[in-house]
Structure 1
């Protein structure tokens, strides 16, 4: 998002003030005509300043960036602070359109080169500074396994397409194993830059074509001689249609495609268009809006924005129709500010602290998120509290001030750059090229393991994981031929994910016809049922099904335990109702399928809603197993796999010559050990088959859980096994879950 600032013009003549303001901050629209008229009418200077200065907008910037920061640091009761992004979208739509319309009024056209030059001078110096600083900080303090992804984020941020990358990658803050990128917040700037690319070109086309639609109207002044009713009508029509289509997409697609809807410009464009429509209507608002109505509207708008911060939260389907609340509030405040009035919300928004924060809000937005993502690691904090984040935000504030006064403000007021577009564009191109070069340099750096010796390759033919397990806890050197490679570990997931066969957290959809594997002509059916810890066993089970001539149906959903319990999802921060609804659909399908076998499992670290959570967890699993026994001939319950205290790929990257320090302690790696044993005993009592995978993964005698076996990486994160390693466990899984081979003629 663009949280740019304005410098208040010197007290001189109205024309000189407008000229200086245009040079210093061409995006902050001053209402010069109001000032002149108010001076003529001897109105108080507090009703409207004799310039284009908008202190209400500056205050809105402060409110918006404060709300975003409050939400990101987990400040109590302000989970809806993410709506600050939407406030900025409306502000940007208004300011940019006002600037372009003023240029059309004056010249009859739009200077595309001049517009992009002003954007480069305004936005790129601070953005490039934060990008480069974040790359350096990531290199120093974050695990080497993350550098490739962060480098890609930096490159796409520099090119203003990071929102597309994040949407394609499925970034949704819901991946418990991987922290968000320290550059993820650049997505909103990318949305605005994409708007900046298209909107001036549209206005330029309308400036040429719309002039033929009519002569200057009754209320057209000399100042607006180039913008007659034809052009205004064309601009308004385009904005209304664009806003309507975009809002329809947001309302109808957010539920079914939440990630693309959150990051995409197609569902955010209507917010920018609302601001643009206010800019088009500003003259009418000035001419006809009663002062008392403007004052009330500004307070009502401020109330709506504030309410959205406290009412909305991570459970809200957003943007969708929920975005109407902050967008409408921002629109009311901005529209009210177009008309002269006293006692409006500017009384609050115009106070000095708000004006200062609004002035530096762009840099504050840029700096705050990298500090949140990297700061705790630099500080050495494992349990980060709000008070820690407040200290980090103090650091962000100091960095912002330094950036503003040493980089941002000096460059944007440098006359050679402001007055010669080619120089500004060259500077912008140079900054983008520098950020890209730094990103490529980081991405090209080899992992430290590549200089090590290679290990004997485990293929499943000459040797097995089982044979190597006992010797793996003492391995000190990470092999150069580690599979998957450390930088690729996080993506070493079962193909279920690429096939869309792991239902996402916020969805209740269940694919009844798809997600079939194994032998498509198999005579018998086995179902893999559970959460991501069930999905991790797919590579082995699929091999078994293909070899035995069985069909394999997968029913898996992210973080959804199949135990009959009510659970809290830690990322959604509420009761996981989507899981309960999905499970009922799954049980109905199982009743219909009547499979020959079901393999069910789930992560043991669940927050259960009950007076006695441990007993409820055990009873819930027993109820589920008994229900499955009514549908399937054989039911297999697989107990939970270990969870290591430290992310193995990151640990190995930091200790390529001392891999043994990453080996897990068996006693510390078993999740809820006492409850686990009671659960195994209870399920065994139902007559179901209990499978314990711990002996396949840990050396029971030594009490250790290796992270490298031969040339194989065991874990892709703290609690999920790598797909490549699970594939090599097929013999062990087949011994525990025997699938009777089907004659060829039955397939």
Structure 2
């Protein structure tokens, strides 16, 4: 995102304007220089503002401030993520103002010059933060995360990280992974994608105008290169683009929230709104009453403020909700085209806001890596707002250092500013450096594990049980650990690759997920979310050995209980889950299974006045419905949740694995409610299976993470598929399936 501006008006002479003074943005200087020449030549005012805009600088300060407040969990400011939308509108306005002035002056757009200015202004600070974040991640974050963070850095350098995050965000297997310390680069990627397309569009309009158009009859000579026809074409394009993009945002955010949040297709309208104001700026300045502009500026500021306090993580966003901050920003910027001394600039123009606005780009870049890596550097497990405030102080100091040592010296260096090829070469070099660092980091091996190999668990029905009691004291990660630490995240049940765990945004059931003995006369169903699906390797073995068919009905993050849920990834009520569950019950009525095994993660965001009661009642209702369509119903109580990424912890402590061992008392999710639920479903007629003794040492009160040569957890709460496969004897004993004759 573009967060630049000048600090003081330029001098009046053309020579002084041509020199870019320290702490000034070349683009702003160019805008002001052309505007001054308009005045000196007594030409009609250009269609864009030609004066210094302290209101925009103040808006930048407001935007970065509310973004940081939301990210550190500042009370009542959960909607601070709208600061990004404020930046989008500002960027659309300033970039379009610059490009239109260039068309007015030359009749065309210098693509090389434009991209050179982008490179000089944005890349040095961005590359500095990228490289520093990679180094800090390598030093302080679990080595198991380096591959993903390196990929994030590479895509950030190429300005496509928003696409990567959208793809990763829709992958349920990544739901428990901490956010990337480079995640905030998504908004910069969106803007850069806009910067790639928009100058080319304007260049095409300018070319067509030159080839087919004529200067307007009343067009001033100074603006003969952009007559009414070109202005109308630019306006029409922006209106159509904004309309289509807004329609996509309003229509698709509900059903596809991740792609809608990160995608250029649903954000382009916000940039287009800023661009439209740039096109209309001259008319606003000429015809808008200043008193009305002053009122509009305060109204806009009120809308932005209201959005910060009224919106939160449960808001479907962007969608139509983004209208609030976008409209507010548009009002402030448009009003600033006809400034009044009693307008919102009275507040936005105060000196502290101007300084924060000046350095806001660097502050935005630095704040998120400090939030994500700072607690690890500090050694904090329980991070509070006060800790984040200290980290933001560090981010502020790093921002100032970056501004005065990196940003300003480079963007004011005349050989770079005046020769586009040099600026582009510098930008290419910085991108190449970031890519090389990403590849180097991705190639770094995990810390060496013990050279000793642990006893392999080979399927003996007592092996896991026998080793469980002594596994909490394991000191070193064995050399033959299965799965490996860097491969743990991919150690998922085969049903995932078969498409038998339905995605969040898909309400349809998959009727093709049959396993076990295809000729079997009896059917067992595995039903639930990923915490049900994790038992697939063991239940599949049991079904095959008993001659049963196995039907899998699982859906990402969808509980079995008949409750209303809020999904944090979708950012709204999980309506697809309710629809899917109803269809599953109907389908099971056709299948008439002999046994249904139901399980779900106990950490659900239930929408109810009394979530605990609703959760228990919902499970009882589901058990009743299942008993109407199945012979027997088994409820598998949820497994313990370690609470942190186990492979990452082991990678950080390869010679002291006991550090990662979970405490049983702390690992059981909602223990009191869990006991009440077990009692309730038992009374409803379900058979209860508690897997805790298979995973944790209940006598010692510990939950080991390495048993023999097996890694127990692939993240913080999902069991590894390899470990579950070795629990087939326990599953067979707890859920006895009658052995079917081999000849029929």
Same fold (TM over 0.5): yes
Please state whether the residue corresponding to 2:629 is helix, strand or coil. coil
1-structure distance, mates of 2:354, 2:172: 32
Whether 1:285 aligns to 2:284 is yes
1:11 Cα offset (Å): 3.6
1-structure distance, mates of 2:289, 2:343: 12
**Partner in structure 1 of residue 222 of structure 2:** 223
Superposition pairs of residues 640-659 of structure 1, within 5 angstroms: 640-644=638-642, 646-659=644-657
Per-residue CA deviation, residues 392-421 of structure 1 (Å, 9 max, x unaligned), is 212211211111111111111111111111
| Structure 1, 523-532 or 89-98: larger mean CA deviation | 523-532
Per-residue CA deviation, residues 97-127 of structure 1 (Å, 9 max, x unaligned), is 1111111221222222211111111001111
* 2:727 equivalent among 723, 726, 729: 729
8 Å CA contact 1:250, 1:268 repeated in 2? yes
**Partner in structure 1 of residue 658 of structure 2:** 660
1:482 Cα offset (Å): 2.2
Quickly say closer, same or farther: Cα 1:385–1:572, change in 2 above 3 A: farther
Per-residue CA deviation, residues 651-705 of structure 1 (Å, 9 max, x unaligned), is 2112212323433344554445555455445544444322221232234555543
1:261 Cα offset (Å): 0.9
8 Å CA contact 2:20, 2:26 repeated in 1? no
Superposition pairs of residues 37-116 of structure 1, within 5 angstroms: 51-116=50-115
Quickly say closer, same or farther: Cα 1:439–1:661, change in 2 above 3 A: same
2-structure distance, mates of 1:253, 1:212: 39
Please state whether the residue corresponding to 1:690 is helix, strand or coil. strand
Please state whether the residue corresponding to 1:635 is helix, strand or coil. strand
Whether 1:533 aligns to 2:492 is no
Superposition pairs of residues 448-597 of structure 1, within 5 angstroms: 448-449=447-448, 452-455=451-454, 457-460=456-459, 465-466=464-465, 468-470=467-469, 472-497=471-496, 501-502=500-501, 509-511=507-509, 513=511, 515-518=513-516, 523-545=521-543, 548=546, 550-563=548-561, 583-584=581-582, 586-591=584-589, 593-597=591-595
Mark the runs of 5 or more structure 1 residues left unpaired by the alignment: 42-47
8 Å CA contact 1:93, 1:275 repeated in 2? yes
1:577 Cα offset (Å): 7.3
2-structure distance, mates of 1:34, 1:428: 29
1:636 Cα offset (Å): 0.6
1-structure distance, mates of 2:217, 2:741: 88
1:22 Cα offset (Å): 12
1-structure distance, mates of 2:172, 2:401: 30
Instruction: Tell me the number of residue pairs that the alignment of Structure 1 and Structure 2 aligns.
Output: 739
**Partner in structure 1 of residue 716 of structure 2:** 718
**Partner in structure 1 of residue 257 of structure 2:** 258
Please state whether the residue corresponding to 1:716 is helix, strand or coil. coil
RMSD (Å) for aligned C-alpha atoms: 3.5
Superposition pairs of residues 219-618 of structure 1, within 5 angstroms: 219-449=218-448, 452-455=451-454, 457-460=456-459, 465-466=464-465, 468-470=467-469, 472-497=471-496, 501-502=500-501, 509-511=507-509, 513=511, 515-518=513-516, 523-545=521-543, 548=546, 550-563=548-561, 583-584=581-582, 586-591=584-589, 593-605=591-603
| Structure 1, 558-567 or 285-294: larger mean CA deviation | 558-567
2-structure distance, mates of 1:15, 1:341: 30
**Partner in structure 1 of residue 626 of structure 2:** 628
2-structure distance, mates of 1:566, 1:387: 35
1:140 Cα offset (Å): 1.9
1:626 Cα offset (Å): 3.2
Quickly say closer, same or farther: Cα 1:229–1:616, change in 2 above 3 A: closer
Quickly say closer, same or farther: Cα 1:227–1:536, change in 2 above 3 A: same
2-structure distance, mates of 1:246, 1:365: 26
Quickly say closer, same or farther: Cα 1:346–1:516, change in 2 above 3 A: farther
2-structure distance, mates of 1:667, 1:23: 57
Please state whether the residue corresponding to 1:448 is helix, strand or coil. coil
8 Å CA contact 2:260, 2:318 repeated in 1? yes
| Structure 1, 669-678 or 322-331: larger mean CA deviation | 669-678
Report the TM-score when normalising by structure 2. Answer: 0.89
1:91 Cα offset (Å): 1.1
Quickly say closer, same or farther: Cα 1:259–1:567, change in 2 above 3 A: closer
2-structure distance, mates of 1:297, 1:35: 27
1-structure distance, mates of 2:697, 2:122: 56
Per-residue CA deviation, residues 246-289 of structure 1 (Å, 9 max, x unaligned), is 22221211111111111111111111122222222223333333
**Partner in structure 2 of residue 45 of structure 1:** none
1:232 Cα offset (Å): 2.4
Quickly say closer, same or farther: Cα 1:681–1:150, change in 2 above 3 A: same
**Partner in structure 2 of residue 8 of structure 1:** 8
| Structure 1, 508-517 or 440-449: larger mean CA deviation | 508-517
Quickly say closer, same or farther: Cα 1:555–1:8, change in 2 above 3 A: farther
Per-residue CA deviation, residues 516-558 of structure 1 (Å, 9 max, x unaligned), is 5555665443332233322221233344445555444444445
Mark the runs of 5 or more structure 2 residues left unpaired by the alignment: none
Whether 1:186 aligns to 2:185 is yes
2-structure distance, mates of 1:296, 1:682: 60
1-structure distance, mates of 2:409, 2:724: 57
Please state whether the residue corresponding to 2:634 is helix, strand or coil. strand
Per-residue CA deviation, residues 1-32 of structure 1 (Å, 9 max, x unaligned), is 22223242344347844774899423337467
| Structure 1, 616-625 or 246-255: larger mean CA deviation | 616-625
Please state whether the residue corresponding to 2:688 is helix, strand or coil. strand
| Structure 1, 569-578 or 320-329: larger mean CA deviation | 569-578
8 Å CA contact 1:239, 1:273 repeated in 2? yes
2-structure distance, mates of 1:546, 1:327: 58
1-structure distance, mates of 2:78, 2:466: 51
1:362 Cα offset (Å): 0.2
2-structure distance, mates of 1:255, 1:50: 38
